[in-house]
Amino acid sequence: MIIDQILNDKGREIISVKADCTLEDAARTLDVKRIGAVVALGEGGEIVGVLSERDIVRHVARNGQNALRMQVGDAMTRDVITIESSTNVDDALQLMTDRRIRHLPVFRNERLVGVISIGDLVKWKIADAEAEAEAMKSYLSAQY
């Protein structure tokens, strides 16, 4: 299975914030949308980073309450790792494991088309394993 198929099931909504908004505003967005990361956009709407809950927690730990007034651009991960929508799920999982990341912006033809989380991929892997086990059970019961 490829990432595009997961996006077809999950949806392609991209939750984003501007890089110049505050961490407090970004945290509110994460809470309301019940997600773990947002894509940060620059002035022209281009992706300039990814801000995760962990990024916010780190800055609050270092700067206390003042961190909430910081801009997203000061706390986000700028070296954004992305994948193509045609990427195989196992390859995406391997990339996330190797790079120790939990969210990947997904591109098709140089256009942002979605964001996947490691939870999305694990959910798919579990569903795939359950379907395979059920198929095997059906096959075996038909044989005997």
The per-residue pLDDT for range 68-86, each reduced to its tens digit, is 999 999 999 999 999 999 9
The predicted model scores a pTM of 0.83
Residue ranges of alpha helices (H) inside 1-144 are 3-10, 23-33, 53-63, 72-75, 89-99, 118-143
* Domains of the chain, each with CATH number or no CATH: 3-143 (3.10.580.10)
C-alpha distances out from residue 85 to 21, 30, 71, 79, 116, Å: 29, 24, 30, 19, 10
**pLDDT tens-digit series, residues 82-132:** 999 999 999 999 999 999 999 999 999 989 999 999 999 998 888 877 777
